[in-house]
Structure 1
Amino acid sequence: MKKAFLVLFLFAISFSVIAKEYHVDCNSNSQGDGSVENPFKRIAQAADIMKKGDFCYIHKGTYRESIHPKNSGTVTKPITFTCFENDIVIISATDEVSNWEKYNGNIYKKSGITLSMGDANNVYWNHRKMQIARWPNDVDNNEYSLDAKYIDMDKETWSMSFISNNEIQDLDWTGGIIHYLGAHSGCSWERTITDYDKELHRVHFETLPDKWPFGTTHSPKRFENGHRGIFYLMNKLEALDAPREWYYDAKNKELYFYAPEGSNPNNDLVEVAVRSNTVEINKNYIHLHKLNFFGGMVTLKGNYNKLTNCMVKHGAERLVTNLNGAAVSDAAIQVLEGNNNLIEKCVLEHGSVTGLYISNDAEDTKLENCIIQYFNTIGIHAHILNSQGVRSKIIRNSLYGSARDGAKVTGNDSEFAYNHVQKCLISGADGGLFYVTGRSIPKNIELHHNWFHDAYADTHAGKKATGIYLDNNTAGYIVHHNVVWDVEWGGLHFNWNAIENKIYNNTFWNVGPMEQAMIDCWVPKIDGEQYNVKDNILYNNISDVRPWWHSGNGTKYRVDEKEYLGSQADNDFKNNWQFTNVPFHFEKGKMFVPLDDSPLIDSGNQVEGITDGFIGVTPDLGAYELGGEYWVPGIDWSPEGFAWTPGTDYRNVGSAFKEYKITNNEL
């Protein structure tokens, strides 16, 4: 016993001798030595010399640099970067712009400035993203609403290389950018304008590729919802005519800015993007704690790194000009490589593309108790969360706001549980609050105890916003004890050869108009062969009264009784009930729990590993067990102490039953 105590005592002494503390203060007048009395001026000075067990205490201020550790820590001696005491620390990928000169009216100009980020050039005013000069103007300051125009649909007014509209602002748009969202509304694109015909009000661009996502799906060729697409134009000085707009003249190195309310930008904080990343970690056992990141991505590539109690604001803002596909990997936080990285109790807000991305080269990533909201404003195939890594665990997060899909999890053996996902498909369509595709190879991904609600696409997009969307050839998802409500295009969607998915004890309510089926399937013929979803199991699910199942190849969509009844059924569909009257509570503290006299009680089938621990004779139907745990998904802490106050939209629970909000875990 004495020997063990001595070993521990010597270890503690050894650790205290070896580990060092460094201090950084951007307000320091010298480069310093890293002591609290004479701190470094830049974080990089500490990051270059820190070794296992060392701490870097960063004092209040804005640090216009990137954290890039040169060494790794160990499991018992991580390298830690954190704030000093409770100081507010911002690591920024921007530079401040000052000494503006008046140009014309409320427009100011900064000469001799270089913006080198290309499609990622941005201007921020008091930490708010501004808008590239455009027509028509973004009148509501809401990137999701687009404020766009429909292209003309008369003969010869559109093609794969031009669009026309008689209202286009009368200026030479050559060299500008067109943002286009097709009538199918599944994916937007942007192109450089190669020519403008003033007489025909026609914008020309390089001919679109004859392949997905362009071709006949996301181009003017596609006629759907009564039109051939919507668009707006941007990036011309002559279009700079409204507050919040800016334009950069790369040739003459001049930046023009019309500040909000026409104010003088010299009186406010104006910043421009100068770096892609605020953090780049390719080492191991690095811990970032209680820091704020602005205007650039946090990139993780090592193993056993931690990001805790941090905030990332405007981490991934960019255009997608001349993109040859439908997606980019940029994200506010991107885990590109490595294993066992943890992101916990962080807040990610605002981005034109994905909020958090876990690549297929990352393993055993954990995302826990985070707020991620207001992403994919640009409307490409981006998400609030996109996880492709194997064995990812995504637990108790609050996700809000996307032009297209909400969450996407495709890495084998992953878990997505106790998450609250809402307000997606705002300006796009043909997607879901949870959306995946596959190759008809089972993934063993468990999706359980989540809330999914509020998916209503804008009028131009039609009615194609769904709850849980297991798209083309998805296989091996175990979906149980989820609640889906307030969506306009079905609660569950299968497509093509979706196989071996297990759907148990879910509650679906108000999932489209009453004629809308609860389950939709797109099952076209390929090479003359009729594909179909098959070998899926569906037990103990409930919904309001509507057709259970639609399937077909699109030409004659039909209710297909054989999908779930009879000897020829392709899927195992048992004990799923529908109700005219709401069979559960919807008041605070009991939402979705069966009523005391509900027909849900003791009406479910037992499913091993799914309904274990039920109360009564048999399990209850739907997502909640009367007398069992009342689980509320989403974060269970109060986000305080950050550089910016997070938005509260992630707390919303919709308005189908009653308008109210939840605070933390109180519902």
Structure 2
Amino acid sequence: MQMGCSIWSIVVLLATAPMLTAMEYYVSERGSDENPGTAERPFRTIQRAAGAMKAGDTCHVGGGVYRETVKPAASGEPGKPLRFMAASGEKAVVSGADVLNAQWAVHKGAVYKATTDGQFIQLFVDGRMMLEARWPNSPLDDLMAMKRASAGDGTDYERLADPNLPPGDWNGAWMLLWPGDRWTNATRRITDYQPGQGFRFDRTLEREKKDKYHQHDPYKPRPGNPYILFGRLAGLDAPGEWFLDVETRTVYLWTPDGKSPAEHRVEVKQRDLAFDLKQLAHVELHGLHIVAAAVDMTNSRHCLVEGCRVEYADHFREMDLYKTPSPRNTVSGEGNVWRRCLIAYCAGSALRLAGKDNRLENSIVHDANYTGGSSGAVNIGSSDGSVVSRCSVFRGGRDLIQHDDAKRVRIEYNDIHHANMLNHDAGATYCWGTDGEGSVIAHNWVHDNMGELTVGIYLDNFSKNFIVHHNVIWNCSNTGIRLNSDALNHLVCNNTVARCPRPIGTYTYTNYVPTQKGTRILNNVFLGHLKETDPHVFVQGELGPELRGNAYAAIAADGVPTAGSAAVDAGMVVPGVTDGFVGKAPDLGAYERGAAYWRPGADWGGVQSKLDIEFSPQPPITEATMIRRGLRLWLDANDRATVEAVADGRVTRWLDKSGEGHHAPAGEGFTLAANALNGKPVVRSIGKGNLRVGTIRAEPGPVTALVVSQNQDVGGAAWQRILGSWSGQGKEWVTPNWLIMRPNASQVQPYAAQVFVHQALDGVVIDHVTLFGAPSAAHQFLVGDIAEALLYDRFLRFDETLAIEAYLQKKWGAK
């Protein structure tokens, strides 16, 4: 009886053996969905295979373009995933775009037109995205270099004014505006368009829910706000632009080479998804090229995207501040991975990781959020346990890795650079109001984030419980690390920050109590001016952070402390962070001398950055050893030969001793006051004129200015200028312009002699340079003294600035 059962079991197993064998399906452009899907007789569509596949099956996709959305009929199983793979050595493209077959005719000049029944908002020529007709024109080959106009006086919630508005009919077109403080943007339809004057919005930009943290409305449109117009035939005036007139069903196109579109491949986006993996498990994509479409892994489990190239995953044209379309490349669910992928050219986020324990590994992400909205290039917000590791993430419209409301995440070994290219006040990594619950940001290079007010690692207000260690941060336009209050229970340890105007900083909303309680800031190399008593650097008093072992010290170009550096063995032991140190104690900064060297970023694609932050502290300065590189103006009242005066003591000209010849003719009311400051003379103004230097550099770039000034009397109007530069346009305090004003400028009070310093890494002019008054007009004259002024056309290293400050303080007895 037992033998009979055994024989029967063998028969059953043999009968079912073919059903248990994993199938290999093949897809080819030359195939047919009537075929069996074999190598010899392949399917025509990937979906035909996806509908037949079971756990463990593989679909081999041959070279070609597949214009479809693929949704598998079933999930895989642990150890038996469904696999979709590009055939070896072949380029398999899954596209969300269709070819636009049309009869093209000349419209005007190089602009062609054709009739179409299609509806679309994205158009490609030979695989390149064209720009919807706009003003001002932008470079076709750099989506992040958007050219924008500036709103003028009279701009508010309901309308935009600008005397430079172009001719033509723009009614019904779109405006994209970065309003108020320019943290994000919004679109509105244009009505009542008047060239050279202004237009109205189809609906207000005033928010129903007011901002409770600021004394002003940070979203109220105002003069100077950048904007563009798009989506009207009147704007089609450059190669690479197009426009679709929905009413007449006519598409207009100016190809990049000016030839007829009939000589090119013209495609338009028609599908959002290449692969729809929602609520599926154990599905894998390998080596595929995805264009004009995305991969949706909402509520998926244990799926993998590996070795894929995804370009133009999403495109949209309507935004409303923080209301933007959800990212098309979305991962939620649990245990999903994107690995060794390239994701590029997205209107919003290139990838959203939500859910739990999802990962982005060894991938390249660039040119994301080219609309300049509130999206992060990689968005892991509201996730739990997400990991972004060994990736190269660069060129984003705002933040590069955004992690609002995320917990227990790890952002590690990434090369993160060129954030905030279209926005204002953002970070390469950023969150607000987030309890990290032990989240780690470590072993990253964060650099060259030169957009306006860009921070390297930005933990904004009401964030807590983050561990930030062993990061190298350099060339950020604002702050290396920002811990805005409330900033509770952070550990900021063994980081190196270089070439940022401020290595670390904090900010507290008005009427809130500043606190960094429980935060520890330890063992960092801060290559910048660090004043621990400055409330803009650290919260003061009993609610301030623990500060130990933060200093500047010599390092090599690769960030490693040099032999004999003050950083070597100068740190304190921090369990779990400084483990494995070499020597008597941990070194300060991100690298341990003598330990293994680490490099971040993807290990493929040729996108690796170079670290070059060599630093050796500047020795003390004398007048004879004054730093000369980049010095374009040097006015010194103590050098009597440089102050020209007539017999009654009136100053007529102040000569430049830099050797550049930028002498300053004096207006009315200037004298050389003897023994006025530390026994030395100063140039004194009674508030009736200014000293105009003129143009030193009209093009935007860096600047460093140092001025010794005092005032012992009350007099003159409010907002008195000490030194300023003006491009000839715009407000004096808005880049590319800049100012140094007297302290408490709204209320004229005496101030003691002090050294005023202004620095900008980039983006400012040195033009219409004026001392003792406004650079744009003859007003707001300073009542007071200037003893010495030095102006450089470069961003001086912090230790150079400190050395010059120390020289000036000693010389003039200034603070």
Deviation per CA, 1:286-325, whole angstroms, max 9, x where unpaired? 011011100012111210100000010111222124x363
Matches of 1:204 and 1:408 in 2, distance apart?
A: 31
Q: Map 1:68-107 onto structure 2 (within 5 A).
A: 68-102=71-105, 103-107=107-111
Matches of 2:555 and 2:39 in 1, distance apart?
A: 59
Residue number in structure 1 paired with 2:562: 595
Q: Is 1:611 equivalent to 2:600 in the alignment?
A: no
Q: Which of these residues, 391, 395, 413, is aligned with residue 397 of structure 1? A: 391
Residue number in structure 2 paired with 1:150: 150
Deviation per CA, 1:500-532, whole angstroms, max 9, x where unpaired? 1110100011112xxxx3222111234xx4243
Given that 1:19 and 1:53 are in contact with CA atoms closer than 8 Å, whether structure 2 keeps it comes out as yes
Matches of 1:655 and 1:376 in 2, distance apart?
A: 28
Given that 1:100 and 1:108 are in contact with CA atoms closer than 8 Å, whether structure 2 keeps it comes out as no
Q: Is 1:585 equivalent to 2:556 in the alignment?
A: yes
CA positional deviation for 1:150: 1.2
The 1:242/1:656 distance shift into structure 2, 3 A limit, reads: farther
Matches of 1:550 and 1:418 in 2, distance apart?
A: 33
Q: Which of these residues, 497, 515, 530, is aligned with residue 532 of structure 1? A: 515
Q: Which of these residues, 333, 340, 343, is aligned with residue 338 of structure 2? A: 343
Residue number in structure 1 paired with 2:587: 620
Deviation per CA, 1:1-30, whole angstroms, max 9, x where unpaired? xxxxxx9xx99x958842111111122256
SS at match of 1:475: strand
Residue number in structure 2 paired with 1:373: 366
Q: Is 1:108 equivalent to 2:118 in the alignment?
A: no
Residue number in structure 2 paired with 1:509: 498
Given that 2:102 and 2:115 are in contact with CA atoms closer than 8 Å, whether structure 1 keeps it comes out as no
Which range is displaced more, 91-100 or 417-426?
Answer: 91-100
The 1:143/1:76 distance shift into structure 2, 3 A limit, reads: closer
Q: Which of these residues, 465, 473, 480, is aligned with residue 462 of structure 2? A: 473
Matches of 1:455 and 1:213 in 2, distance apart?
A: 30
Q: Which of these residues, 307, 324, 328, is aligned with residue 305 of structure 2? A: 307
Matches of 2:140 and 2:26 in 1, distance apart?
A: 44
Given that 2:494 and 2:524 are in contact with CA atoms closer than 8 Å, whether structure 1 keeps it comes out as yes
Q: Map 1:411-450 onto structure 2 (within 5 A).
A: 411-439=406-434, 441-450=435-444
The 1:520/1:54 distance shift into structure 2, 3 A limit, reads: same
Q: Which of these residues, 236, 246, 251, is aligned with residue 232 of structure 2? A: 236
Matches of 1:447 and 1:125 in 2, distance apart?
A: 41
Q: Alignment identity in percent?
A: 26
Q: Is 1:483 equivalent to 2:451 in the alignment?
A: no
- One-letter code of the match for 1:375? A
- One-letter code of the match for 1:608? P
The 1:87/1:66 distance shift into structure 2, 3 A limit, reads: same
Residue number in structure 2 paired with 1:317: 315
Q: Is 1:161 equivalent to 2:161 in the alignment?
A: no
Given that 2:242 and 2:251 are in contact with CA atoms closer than 8 Å, whether structure 1 keeps it comes out as yes
The 1:374/1:25 distance shift into structure 2, 3 A limit, reads: same
- One-letter code of the match for 2:148? A
Q: Map 1:221-260 onto structure 2 (within 5 A).
A: 221=222, 227-260=223-256
Deviation per CA, 1:610-665, whole angstroms, max 9, x where unpaired? 111111111111111111110000012x34xxxxxxxx5x433377669xxxxxxx
Matches of 1:531 and 1:598 in 2, distance apart?
A: 35
- One-letter code of the match for 2:326? S
Residue number in structure 2 paired with 1:555: none
Residue number in structure 2 paired with 1:644: none
- One-letter code of the match for 1:490? T
The 1:199/1:414 distance shift into structure 2, 3 A limit, reads: closer
SS at match of 1:266: helix
CA positional deviation for 1:326: 4.5
Q: Is 1:522 equivalent to 2:521 in the alignment?
A: no
The 1:86/1:559 distance shift into structure 2, 3 A limit, reads: closer
CA positional deviation for 1:559: 5.8
Residue number in structure 2 paired with 1:181: 178
- One-letter code of the match for 2:580? G
Query: Normalising by the residue count of structure 1, what TM-score does the alignment of the two structures yield?
Result: 0.85
- One-letter code of the match for 1:405? D
Structure whose CA Rg is larger: 2
Given that 2:104 and 2:261 are in contact with CA atoms closer than 8 Å, whether structure 1 keeps it comes out as no
Deviation per CA, 1:111-156, whole angstroms, max 9, x where unpaired? 133115xxxx200112111101112222564332321211112xxx
The 1:548/1:80 distance shift into structure 2, 3 A limit, reads: farther
The 1:67/1:172 distance shift into structure 2, 3 A limit, reads: same
Residue number in structure 1 paired with 2:542: 568
Matches of 1:466 and 1:572 in 2, distance apart?
A: 22
Residue number in structure 2 paired with 1:224: none
Given that 2:514 and 2:543 are in contact with CA atoms closer than 8 Å, whether structure 1 keeps it comes out as no
Q: Which of these residues, 370, 373, 376, is aligned with residue 383 of structure 1? A: 376
Q: Which of these residues, 258, 262, 266, is aligned with residue 262 of structure 1? A: 258
Given that 2:559 and 2:613 are in contact with CA atoms closer than 8 Å, whether structure 1 keeps it comes out as no
Matches of 2:427 and 2:177 in 1, distance apart?
A: 21
Given that 2:64 and 2:92 are in contact with CA atoms closer than 8 Å, whether structure 1 keeps it comes out as yes
Q: Which of these residues, 267, 270, 287, is aligned with residue 290 of structure 1? A: 287
Given that 1:497 and 1:523 are in contact with CA atoms closer than 8 Å, whether structure 2 keeps it comes out as yes
CA positional deviation for 1:219: 3.1
Deviation per CA, 1:315-372, whole angstroms, max 9, x where unpaired? 1222124x363443214x211x31100111111111121111112xx11101110000
Deviation per CA, 1:157-178, whole angstroms, max 9, x where unpaired? 2220110112212222111000
CA positional deviation for 1:66: 1.3
Matches of 2:513 and 2:374 in 1, distance apart?
A: 28
The 1:14/1:78 distance shift into structure 2, 3 A limit, reads: farther
The 1:569/1:199 distance shift into structure 2, 3 A limit, reads: closer
Which range is displaced more, 106-115 or 350-359?
Answer: 106-115
Given that 1:213 and 1:326 are in contact with CA atoms closer than 8 Å, whether structure 2 keeps it comes out as no
Matches of 1:254 and 1:491 in 2, distance apart?
A: 50
Residue number in structure 2 paired with 1:63: 66
Of structures 1 and 2, the one with the larger relative CO (CA 8 A, separation 6+) is 1
Q: Which of these residues, 192, 202, 213, is aligned with residue 199 of structure 2? A: 202
Matches of 2:226 and 2:261 in 1, distance apart?
A: 33
CA positional deviation for 1:200: 3.5
Which range is displaced more, 27-36 or 13-22?
Answer: 13-22
The 1:592/1:239 distance shift into structure 2, 3 A limit, reads: same
- Count of residue pairs brought into register by the alignment: 595
Residue number in structure 2 paired with 1:635: 602
Given that 1:475 and 1:498 are in contact with CA atoms closer than 8 Å, whether structure 2 keeps it comes out as yes
Matches of 1:372 and 1:550 in 2, distance apart?
A: 40
Gaps of 5+ in 2: 1-9, 616-815
Matches of 1:50 and 1:559 in 2, distance apart?
A: 59
- One-letter code of the match for 1:444? G
Matches of 2:232 and 2:457 in 1, distance apart?
A: 41
The 1:212/1:375 distance shift into structure 2, 3 A limit, reads: farther
Taking only aligned residues, the RMSD between alpha carbons, in angstroms, comes to 2.4
SS at match of 1:493: strand
Matches of 1:549 and 1:352 in 2, distance apart?
A: 41
The 1:545/1:60 distance shift into structure 2, 3 A limit, reads: closer
SS at match of 2:312: strand
